[in-house]
């Protein structure tokens, strides 16, 4: 869902920019002193909603909140630089969950279990999407509360499926067949395929492969990729390629969403945060978009990939309780509901299941189903390196340069080499 940069790059940036200010299109309220909670987070709709929530908080709380918003890379760079330089710059840490393990291993984050327990009634942890709660938990310690995110789901053209006499696919075999039938009967490309290395390709592939019973690693110590289930899922995915756009191997999430919005494909699987752009503005298909759970595999399960951000508390903060209180308040259902008008995102079941919200945001119902089935990638400090190990052979197999068997043998060996570095 987001661009991710490697641990090695962050280390290099820390050396290069130590003692200097980082750029990154920062958006910040003025002020901030000893009685101020400082928040670092990513710019964009959810970031704007968080900054607006802070203004509401400041009207009724003695301890004020100041939110600094940066681009994706700069958010992480600023965080890492602040801790590595020994300066306590921020009290609340916004993070892509892919970064969390490194932050925990580096001592950046305060465990939240005690504060969560003491505020259990007001927080209502059961209302958060469970996959985000689980993702924010490492070694039985909660390190982040869910802020925003997205989940893979199926999009389809209602008019074209009706024209072709195709039902909304419920399995991956049906999905591959539907792509072929739609293209043959309507003349519109059957579906998208997001094949750009590394993250985009893997997000889509594993959304399929998990439902076949495949795993990246079963024990965290060895690759599990070279399995019949992983290869079977890949072969079904590869069947879709002839009915996808010609540039599929270089397509990422925005490219696929643009093709669908322009009426160039009949179906798409993509992250749910593309939904608003498909049903508003200049979208050529806004009156004909359908939303559905991701198809299931032979296990009978649908296993959409999850992406998202959490808000944690700095282990170096001198306002840890106040920082946690703001995080709990800002991610409460009431504030999430208010934030929707300002570009915010829902990570609570009550907000996604609200009938009025589902009427206004017609993808919420399908998104909620997908969230309940969601699977996140293994928690590791070196996920980007794992991606770089797995993806290239799979890409080569997609374009026919090597066989499926060769691809998974190579990917598994490359992944084992990366996992070995963590031992």
Q: What is the DSSP letter of 409?
A: H
**Do 329 and 195 sit in the same domain of this protein?**
no
CATH number (domain holding residue 68): 3.40.190.10
**Do 253 and 142 sit in the same domain of this protein?**
no
**Do 121 and 235 sit in the same domain of this protein?**
no
**Do 111 and 81 sit in the same domain of this protein?**
yes
**Do 144 and 159 sit in the same domain of this protein?**
no
Domain enclosing residue 176, as ranges = 152-303+379-420
**Do 156 and 146 sit in the same domain of this protein?**
no
What pLDDT tens digit does each residue of the chain (423 aa) get? 554 333 333 333 333 333 334 444 454 443 445 689 999 999 999 999 999 999 999 999 999 999 999 999 999 999 999 999 987 689 999 999 999 999 999 999 999 999 999 998 899 999 999 999 999 999 999 999 999 999 999 999 999 999 999 999 999 999 999 999 999 999 999 999 999 999 999 999 999 999 999 999 999 999 999 999 999 999 999 999 999 999 999 999 999 999 999 999 999 999 999 999 999 999 999 999 999 999 999 999 999 999 999 999 999 999 999 999 999 999 999 999 999 998 999 999 999 999 999 999 999 999 999 999 999 999 999 999 999 999 999 999 999 999 999 999 999 999 999 999 986
Asked if the structure places residue 1 within a domain, the reply is: no
Give one DSSP letter per residue of 182-215, joined into a string: HHHHHSSB-------TTHHHHHHHHHHHGGGT--
Q: Do 229 and 213 form a contact (C-beta atoms < 8 A)?
A: yes
**Do 174 and 95 sit in the same domain of this protein?**
no
**Do 144 and 192 sit in the same domain of this protein?**
no
Count of domains observed in the chain: 2
CB count within 10 Å of CB 115 equals 21
Question: Which residue in 269, 307, 277 sits closest to 150, CA to CA?
Answer: 307
Q: What percent of the chain has pLDDT over 70?
A: 91
**Do 139 and 214 sit in the same domain of this protein?**
no
- Given 3-state DSSP classes, what are the helix, strand and coil percentages for the chain, each rounded to the nearest 5? 50, 15, 35
**Do 191 and 285 sit in the same domain of this protein?**
yes
Q: Which two tokens stand for residue 229?
A: 């289930």
Measured distance between the N- and C-terminal CA atoms of the chain, rounded to whole angstroms: 28
């Amino acid at each position: 869902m987001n661009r991710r940069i490697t641990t090695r790059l962050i280390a290099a940036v820390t050396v290069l920019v130590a003692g200097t200010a980082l750029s990154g299109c920062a958006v910040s309220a003025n002020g901030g002193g000893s009685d101020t909670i400082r928040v670092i987070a990513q710019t964009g709709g959810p970031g704007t909603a968080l900054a607006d929530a802070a203004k509401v908080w400041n009207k009724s709380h003695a301890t004020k909140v100041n939110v600094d918003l940066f681009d994706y890379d700069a958010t992480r760079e600023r965080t890492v630089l602040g801790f590595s330089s020994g300066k306590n710059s921020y009290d609340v840490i916004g993070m892509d969950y892919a970064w969390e393990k490194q932050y925990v291993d580096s001592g950046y984050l305060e465990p939240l279990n005690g504060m969560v327990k003491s505020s259990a009634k007001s927080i209502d942890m059961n209302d958060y999407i469970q996959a985000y709660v689980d993702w924010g938990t490492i070694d039985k310690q909660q390190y982040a509360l869910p802020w925003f995110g997205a989940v893979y789901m199926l999009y389809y053209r209602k008019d074209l499926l009706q024209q072709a006499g195709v039902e909304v696919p419920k399995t991956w075999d049906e999905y591959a067949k539907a792509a072929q039938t739609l293209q043959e009967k309507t003349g519109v490309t059957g579906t998208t395929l997001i094949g750009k290395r590394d993250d985009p390709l893997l997000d889509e592939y594993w959304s399929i492969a998990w439902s076949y019973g495949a795993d990246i690693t079963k024990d965290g110590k060895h690759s599990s990729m070279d399995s019949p289930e992983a290869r079977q899922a890949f072969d079904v995915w590869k069947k879709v390629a002839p009915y996808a756009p010609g540039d599929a191997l270089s397509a990422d999430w925005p490219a696929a969403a643009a093709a669908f919005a322009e009426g160039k494909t009949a179906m798409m699987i993509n992250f749910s945060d593309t939904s608003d752009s498909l049903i508003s503005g200049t979208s050529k298909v806004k009156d004909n978009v359908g939303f559905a759970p991701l198809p299931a595999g032979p296990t009978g399960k649908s296993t959409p990939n999850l992406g998202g951000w959490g808000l944690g508390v700095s282990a170096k903060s001198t306002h840890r309780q106040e920082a946690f209180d703001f995080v709990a308040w800002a991610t409460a259902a009431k504030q999430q509901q208010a934030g929707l008008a300002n570009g915010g995102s829902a990570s609570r079941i009550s907000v996604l299941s609200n009938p009025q919200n589902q009427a206004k945001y017609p993808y919420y119902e399908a998104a909620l189903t997908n969230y309940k089935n969601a699977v996140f990638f293994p928690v590791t400090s070196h996920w980007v390196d794992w991606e770089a190990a797995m993806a290239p052979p799979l890409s080569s197999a997609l374009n026919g340069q090597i066989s499926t068997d060769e691809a998974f043998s190579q990917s598994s060996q490359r992944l084992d080499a990366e996992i070995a570095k963590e031992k």
